[in-house]
Amino acid sequence: MSEHFGTLPDGTPVYRWTLERGGVRVRILSYGGIVQSVEVPGRDGRTADVVLGFEELTDYLDNPGPFLGALIGRYANRIAGGRFELDGLTYALARTDGPNTLHGGERGFDRRVWEGTPVPDGVRLSRVSPHGEEGFPGRLAVAVTYTLDADGALRIGYEAVTDAPTVVNLTNHSYFNLAGAGSGPAGGHELRIAAARYTPVDEDLIPTGIAEVAGTRFDFREARPAGTGYDHNFVLDKGVTAAAEEVAELYDPGSGRVLTVATTEPGLQLYTADHLSGPLSPGAGIALETQHFPDSPNRPEFPGTVLRPGEVFRSETVYGFSVRR
């Protein structure tokens, strides 16, 4: 089901799609590919919205910084110095996070209007990012499909093709609070991540290499409270896979709600939302962003993010919901 959600200042209409299946209801916006809400039942049978979002389009326009629920591209996470080299050419990007480029530049995919097309059990959003948009090379045609499985799992599939060599890293930036959005800090949720390594960062949150999690506060191989103070990429044990594999679990003991994350991606960015402000409280949700590593275009030892003509970028992430009695 789709409905008119609002209008941008330039007159462009924005639509909202509602998906409902398996006891789960999800709302997707054509603006920014935003996952506005995910309603799931708890142990007591009561339904709650478990992602942070706004009720009105104007709130998203006025508060773009948290990237609430948004589709992120062309390059999710950070690119050091706002530049990278590809095939002997250097590309300069807007520096939007100190000296670095964050989440695609000044106006990334999260601030674009996407064309929605219904598909079985979901919606397909598409747009063409022209050559040079935010400094990135190549005309990139992107399609992102949101569907609900029979059990209510939210499946997000990404595809992209280009007419010139470029770099691509796409993700969804939902913040989860399994006790319900607005219920308070989510740091008490129990988190497990299947990663024996992570990428330490410098003061600008750019990776300095790869390190073991053993004996550090980054060891989530056994479930424990998520806590605070994280904006770090975890090197998933499974690496890049053709099919989505489970890599993380988030559990709220109070409501009994469980979130599982499965992905084809090699990395998972854990962000405990310590810097939320304005209408949102610090720590109000936990972002689990499936993606390639930060600054991969400048780090040849990391899994590659280069896409060339004739190739198809494909990625899939599945958010599953259940209840623990």
**Which residues line the annotated binding site?**
77-78, 173-175, 231
Residues 6 or more apart from 216 whose CB is under 8 A from it? none
Per the annotation, the verdict on 203 as an active-site residue is no
Per the annotation, the verdict on 292 as an active-site residue is no
Cα separation, 213 vs 183, in Å, equals 31
- Strands 115-119 and 171-172, by their bridges, are unpaired
Q: What is the DSSP letter of 33?
A: T
* Closest to 269 (Cα-Cα) out of 237, 297, 235: 235
Furthest-apart CA atoms within the chain: distance in Å: 59
Residues that constitute the known binding site for beta-D-galactose: 77-78, 173-175, 231
Q: How far is CA 229 from CA 260, 294, 318, in A?
A: 22, 18, 25
One of 103, 173, 189, 232 is an active-site residue; which one?
173
One of 249, 265, 289, 316 is an active-site residue; which one?
289
HEC states along 261-299? Answer: EEECCCEEEEECCCCCCCCCCCCCCEEEEEECCCCHHHC
Please check whether residue 17 is in contact with residue 28, taking contact to mean a CB–CB distance below 8 angstroms: yes
- Which residues form the catalytic set? 173, 289
